[in-house]
């Protein structure tokens, strides 16, 4: 039995996955801040998962952790996890000795991509490649081809959020103008909306429906940025499907309709884009899906393509 | 001994490659127009290659053909090769029976990517992934990871020329505005320059040096579009290196300096981009290099990663 954890800025989602790839237990708890508290959260999540299972359940064989920071390919060290108060931490070095289990670590979006592939691949037998596009505070994608996560060697695979698609667009926190993230990232939208609402993007959608011009412009930028990310992923990597997830996708069908309308408009203008049927190739990750935690659980076996394919 | 052909709109470049991956013979001849004339060109190129070799040279074991058209992954059928007057032609069906050899067919840019990887990989042992960005009449890229060409399943992998990076940019022949190809494609630049010069992009560079404002604007757009393509390739696929080739790169260092200046300017504005050292990761394919013909020769063995890696 494998354990997978999605250690988020406020909550940690933990699952236990059996050999057939099925989630057999799931617990959620608050995430502590700072290296020691994050390690304590991981240990507590593993304990709670164990407790939620029957006494006769199989032992845990590995722990995978998805975490919002940079993880250099092939290492278990996370850096720049600013939302967790972690600057530099080797999670395996801290946790393996305590639990006596192999620990795998991956960026949370890349872990979610593996999980979304397993979830989506199970529903669609013919899926050979997929991008998971995370629309959260920031924007990034994870790319899975034939069951294997594209990691790249410098860690920038899937960083489509910082591709500029409009030189006259808003300034991005990265320093460029018109990045996809500056248009469609939840953080950038909240900042430009400026009301301090608890659910800023939901607030923007509501105000847009009520006719507010700024809200309508922000909402159009969100759809344009997300549609641009879909085009980049299909025209560069030729993924079969782009699965959308992340906090902003809590807006559900209203968001998906906006993005599809943008893709349909560009298809109407361009026979080439029309031939790619982009609008039909985007899908929403089901709300509440444990994609990142499931993907984290699969990390150990994802070192070999065959392992993941067995779960596809 | 393998044969590789780069069947271009006006000229065909043909090489014979020995088992160590070395080009041992090369011939160039004019390309005929239309299906029958193109087949005759291929047969004549193979005959001329044979004639240029010693009588004791090893027999030919396969023929690979790179051709400017759409080739669905895994087939030998080319469609929409408009510059050759070919609408739909199965090259293997036409040529295999005559020469009694296996025939492989690939889009010319993708073939050039394989060849550039073999050429560049031989010089740089640590190269694990590369994009070949073809700056010609149009713009497209071929991506090679660990010696394997990324084909995608729908044939749109590497079609970065039709990613829009400026909604206020010029209309592209594809119907979108501000595509990378509309900014940086030789065809789009020639059309907007409009002098009918034999070497339009060279003419634009000369007029730009002489202070012509339209030429300066077109030249800046070329550099901006090419730099955008480099960013898209690194931020999506995380390739180690982007090798530039195609007719527009006949401009040599003047072009490379322009593109590097654009990448340096965006790095100066963005610490994130600065960390990626993009300017150092672009290189020009040497002028006159037989990349596409060499890559076409490698197509047969490129079906398995090990085969190409042996040449890396």
Fill in the DSSP letter of residue A172: P
Q: Which helix (H) or strand (E) holds A30?
A: strand A23-30
| Residue with tokens 């042992």, as numbered in its chain | B125
Instruction: Measure Cα distances from B39 to A186, B42, B65, B84 in Å.
Output: 56, 5, 11, 11
CB contact under 8 A, A238 and B160: no
Nearest by CB: B157 against A158, A172, A238: A238
**Inter-chain residue contact B236 with A160, CB threshold 8 Å:** yes
Nearest Cα of chain B lies from the Cα of A152 at a distance, in angstroms, of: 5
Cα–Cα dist A297/A73, whole Å: 17
Q: Is residue B41 over pLDDT 80?
A: yes
Chain B contact probe: residue of A71, A236, A266, A271 with most B CBs at under 10 A: A236
Provide the pLDDT confidence category of residue B34 given band limits of 50, 70 and 90.
Answer: very high
In whole angstroms, what separates CA B29 from the centre of its chain?
A: 19
B152 and B76 fall within a common domain: no
Contact A238 B153 (CB under 8 A): yes
CB contact under 8 A, A236 and B157: yes
Residue A225 belongs to domain with CATH number: 3.30.420.40
A234-273 as b/e: b if 16+ CB within 10 A: bbbbbbbbbbbbbebbebeeebbebbbebbeebbebbebb
pLDDT score recorded for residue A126: 66
Which residue is it, tokens 């990626």?
B276
Q: What's the whole-number mean pLDDT along residues B276-296?
A: 95
Give domain status of residue B296, yes or no: yes
Across the interface, which of A154, A174, A231 has its CB nearest the CB of B163?
Answer: A231
Which residue is closest to B152 within chain A, CA to CA? A238
- Which of A68, A55, A50 is CA-nearest to residue A14? A50
State whether A156 and B276 contact (CB < 8 Å).
yes
Q: How far is CA A234 from CA A148, B57, B154, B180, in A?
A: 17, 45, 9, 15
Residue B119 lies in a domain: no
**Contact criterion met (CB < 8 Å) for A273 and B128:** no
Q: Which two tokens stand for residue A149?
A: 């996560």
Q: Burial, A102: exposed, middle or buried (Cβ in 10 Å; 0-12, 13-18, 19+)?
A: middle
Q: In this structure, are B45 and B14 located in the same domain?
A: yes
Polymer length of chain A: 312
Do B24 and B143 lie in one domain? The reply is no
pLDDT confidence of residue A123 = 64
Query: Among candidates B216, B233, B176, which has minimal Cα distance to A152?
Result: B233
Tokens representing residue B69 in the block:
């058209």
Alpha-carbon distance of B277 to B274, in angstroms, equals: 6
Domain that holds residue B206: 125-284
Let me know the angle formed at the C-alpha of A78 by A52 and A134, rounded to the nearest 5 degrees.
75
Examine the domain organization and report whether A43 and A100 are in the same domain: yes
**Interface probe, candidates A224, A235, A237, chain B, greatest B C-beta count within 10 A:** A235
Do B56 and B150 lie in one domain? The reply is: no
DSSP string, chain B: -EEEEEE-SSEEEEEEE-TTS-EEEEEEEEPPSSHHHHHHHHHHHHHHHHHHS-TTSPPP-EEEEEESSEE-TT--EEEEEGGGTEEEEEHHHHHHHHHTS-EEEEEHHHHHHHHHHHHHHHH-TT--EEEEEEESSSEEEEEEETTEE---SSS-TT-GGG-BS-TTSPBPTTS-BSBHHHHH-HHHHHHHH-S--SSHHHHHHHHHHTT-HHHHHHHHHHHHHHHHHHHHHHHHH--SEEEEESGGGGGTHHHHHHHHHHHHHHHHH-HHHHHTTGGGGEEEPPTT--HHHHHHHHTTGGGSHHHHHTT-
Of A32, A142, A24, A98, the closest CA to residue A12 belongs to A32
CA A45 to chain B, closest CA, distance in angstroms equals: 33
Instruction: Give A9 to chain B, closest Cα distance, Å.
Output: 22
Residues B269 and B296 in one domain: no
Split into its structural domains, chain A has a count of 2
How far apart are the CA of B129 and the nearest CA of chain A, in angstroms? 8
What CA–CA distances, in Å, run from A291 to A13, A29, A63, A211, A301? Answer: 10, 16, 15, 35, 16
Let me know whether B94 and B158 are in one domain: no
Give the model's pLDDT for residue B307: 35
- DSSP letters spanning A105-168: EEEHHHHHHHHHHHHHHHH-TT--EEEEEEESSSEEEEEEETTEE---SSS-TT-GGG-BS-TT
Q: Are A96 and A214 contained in the same domain?
A: no
Could you report the per-residue pLDDT of B52-107, keeping only the tens digit for each? 999 899 999 999 999 999 998 889 999 989 889 999 999 999 999 999 999 999 99
- Residue A154 has a pLDDT of 81
| Tokens, residue A196 | 């301090």
**Cβ-based contacts of B143 with chain A (< 8 Å):** 236
Residues of B in contact with A228 (CB under 8 A): 163-164
Confidence class for position B125, pLDDT limits 50, 70, 90: low
Predicted local confidence at residue A128, as pLDDT: 82
Closest to B69 (Cα-Cα) out of B118, B119, B27, B106:
B106
Is B254 within a domain? Answer: yes
Using an 8 Å CB-CB cutoff, list chain A residues near B130: none
Nearest C-alpha in B relative to A272: B174
Helix (H) or strand (E) holding A63: strand A62-67
> pTM (2 decimals)?
0.93
- Assess whether A65 and A139 both reside in one domain: no
For residue B238, list chain A residues with Cβ-Cβ distance below 8 A.
150-159
Q: How far is B71 from chain A (nearest CA, A)?
A: 15
Closest CB to A269 among B129, B159, B175:
B175
Task: Provide the pLDDT for residue A310.
Answer: 34
Distance CA B261, CA A58 (A): 59
Cα torsion B216, B221, B227, B228 to 10°: value is 160
| Rounded Cα–Cα distance for residues B173 and B44 (Å) | 35
Domain membership of residue B31 (yes or no) is yes
The pLDDT assigned to B121 comes to: 72
* B235 with A159: Cβ contact below 8 A: yes
Q: Nearest-CA neighbor of A232 among A184, A299, A170?
A: A184
CA-nearest residue to A152 within chain B is B238
B228–A152 CB contact, under 8 Å: no
Give, in order, the Cα–Cα distances in Å from B306 to each of A236, B301, B312.
24, 8, 10
Q: Compute the distance between CA of residue A221 and CA of residue A230 in angstroms, rounded to an integer.
A: 14
Q: What is the ipTM of this complex?
A: 0.92
Query: Going residue by residue through chain A (312 aa), what tens digit of pLDDT does each one get?
Result: 999 999 998 999 999 999 988 999 999 999 999 999 999 999 999 999 999 999 899 999 999 999 999 998 889 999 989 889 999 999 999 999 999 999 999 999 999 999 999 988 766 666 789 999 999 999 999 999 888 898 887 878 999 999 999 999 999 999 999 999 999 999 999 999 999 899 999 999 999 999 999 999 999 999 999 999 999 999 999 999 999 999 999 999 999 999 999 999 999 999 999 999 999 999 999 988 999 999 999 997 754 443 333 333
- pLDDT, one tens digit per residue, over B139-185 is 999 999 888 898 887 878 999 999 999 999 999 999 999 999 999 99
* Residue B145 located in a structural domain: yes
Claim to verify: residue B152 and residue B40 sit in the same structural domain: no
Compute the Cα dihedral for B70, B71, B77, B78 and give only its sign: positive
Burial of B118 (0-12, 13-18, 19+ CB in 10 A): buried
Interface probe, candidates A156, A234, A264, chain B, greatest B C-beta count within 10 A: A156
Q: Is residue B120 part of a domain?
A: no
Contacts of A65 (CB under 8 A, 6+ apart): A4, A5, A7, A42, A91, A103, A104, A105, A106, A296
A153: which 2 tokens? 């060697």
pLDDT reading at B309 higher than 60: no
Closest CB to B165: pick one of A162, A164, A233.
Answer: A164
Regarding whether A299 and A262 lie in a shared domain, the answer is: no
- Closest to A225 measured CA to CA, from A195, A271, A192, A194: A192
Facing residue for A160 by CB, picked from B224, B235, B272: B235
Distances (CA, A) of A163 to A8, A229, A269, B212, B218: 25, 9, 22, 31, 22
Q: Are residues A295 and A233 in the same domain?
A: no
Nearest residue on chain A to B270, alpha-carbon basis: A175
- Among A21, A243, A23, A138, smallest CA distance to A13 is for A23
């Amino acid at each position: 039995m494998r354990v997978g954890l999605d250690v988020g800025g406020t909550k940690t989602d933990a699952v236990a996955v059996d050999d057939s790839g099925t989630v057999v237990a799931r617990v959620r708890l608050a995430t502590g801040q700072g290296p020691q508290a994050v390690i304590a959260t991981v240990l507590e999540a593993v304990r709670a998962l164990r407790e939620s299972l029957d006494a006769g359940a199989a032992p845990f064989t590995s722990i995978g952790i998805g975490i919002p920071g940079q993880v250099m390919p092939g290492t278990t060290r996370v850096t720049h996890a600013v939302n967790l108060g972690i600057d530099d931490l080797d999670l395996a070095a801290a946790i393996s000795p305590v639990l006596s289990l192999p620990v795998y670590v991956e960026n949370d979006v890349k872990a979610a991509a593996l999980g979304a592939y397993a979830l989506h691949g199970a529903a669609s037998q013919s899926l050979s490649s997929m991008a998971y596009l995370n629309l959260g505070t920031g924007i990034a994608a994870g790319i899975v081809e034939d069951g294997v996560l594209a990691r790249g060697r410098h860690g920038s695979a899937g960083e489509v959020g910082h591709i500029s698609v409009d030189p006259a667009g808003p300034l991005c926190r990265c320093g460029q103008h018109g990045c996809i993230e500056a248009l469609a990232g939840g953080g950038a939208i909240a900042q430009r909306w400026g009301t301090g609402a608890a659910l800023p993007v939901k607030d923007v959608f509501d105000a847009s429906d009520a006719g507010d011009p700024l809200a309508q412009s922000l909402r159009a930028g969100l759809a344009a940025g997300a549609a641009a990310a879909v085009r980049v992923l299909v025209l560069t990597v030729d993924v079969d499907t782009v699965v959308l997830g992340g906090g902003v996708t809590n807006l559900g069908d209203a968001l998906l309709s906006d993005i599809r309308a943008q893709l349909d408009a560009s298809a109407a203008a361009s026979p080439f884009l029309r031939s790619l049927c982009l609008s039909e190739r985007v899908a929403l990750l089901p709300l509440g899906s444990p994609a990142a935690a499931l993907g984290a659980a699969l990390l150990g076996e994802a070192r070999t393509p065959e392992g993941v394919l067995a779960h596809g």
